[in-house]
Amino acid sequence: MGRIMKVVYFISYLVIFGFFASCSSNAQSLLIGNTKSPDSVSIRTDFNKYFKNYNVQGSIAIYDDRNNKWILSDSSDVYKEALPASTFKIINLQIALETGVVKDENELIKWKGQTDTARYGYRPEIYRDMTIQEAFRESAVWVFLDMAKKIGKDNYKYYLKACNYGNQNLSEEGDDFWNFGFLGISPVNQVNFLRNMYAEKLPFSKRNIDIVKRVLINEQNENYTLSAKTGWTRQGGINTGWWVGYVETKAGVVYFATRLFQDRKFNSPGFGPCRKEITRSVLRDLNLIY
């Protein structure tokens, strides 16, 4: 009997230890790159209704810097990693600027006359000479692939580690490792990266961070400035969509990262727009935009 009780106690210990280790891991991921702990973490499962309205799975992570508070749509998906897709352009442009591959957002990149519509879809509007700012806002893959070849994997490894960006897995042989391969980042990690960028705690000059902040701006009015970047990749028959960024108000800054998944068997023309529509619904619930 005593032996059975020991086994029961041991199993109970493993379960309890596993629970607290999981909680500790999640808590640590909330604090990556930041010195102060959040006052609170609020789980808002009611936000899931917005994902269901568009027949997608997903989650949103929000950090309210005004109140030192995390707001999460769930307690698990927001920590899971997936390809960053074009949200990687935020760090990619900073690396390109820091390494001297490009000078600023106004530099003109000449189109070399090559397209890859089979992999990236039919987007004739991006196949032309473009400034860096235009390429960023239009998500012109060819411009950033050209930059990636010049930056090189060694520089990427250094900066991804220095910025604590995702899982830092660059084992994909091709240059487009943010759309295809094994690089992964979670919504919580996306938010922490943006927080550190905004606070200028990354290994990039203020000048280069300011350039990226300028090209990130989507919307400005007397009440707020919304800065964000979309992302969408189709690896493995799954649509993975992102919208990440922050909202600046007179009261402070609120950061967000929304990520969606959809099986391409049920491919919907509304998948692209709903990345923003879901996020805007949540931000309106929080009285951040109108």
Active site residues: 86
In sequence order, the 6+-apart residues with CB closer than 8 A to the CB of 173 are none
Alpha-carbon distance of 271 to 278, in angstroms, equals 10
Alpha-carbon distance of 99 to 19, in angstroms, equals 43
Q: Dump the DSSP string for the chain.
A: -HHHHHHHHHHHHHHHHHHHHHHHHHHHHHTTT-SSPPSEEEE-GGGHHHHHHTT-EEEEEEEETTTTEEEES-SSGGG--B--GGGGHHHHHHHHHHTTS---TT-EE---S---HHHH---GGGSS-EEHHHHHHHT-HHHHHHHHHHH-HHHHHHHHHHTT-TT-----SSS-TTTSSS--B-HHHHHHHHHHHHTT-SSS-HHHHHHHHHHHEEEE-SS-EEEEEEEEE-GGGEEEEEEEEEEEETTEEEEEEEEEEEEGGG--TTHHHHHHHHHHHHHHHTTS--
Q: How far apart are the first and last CA of the chain?
A: 65
| Tokens describing residue 39 | 């006052």
Residue with tokens 């998948």: 271
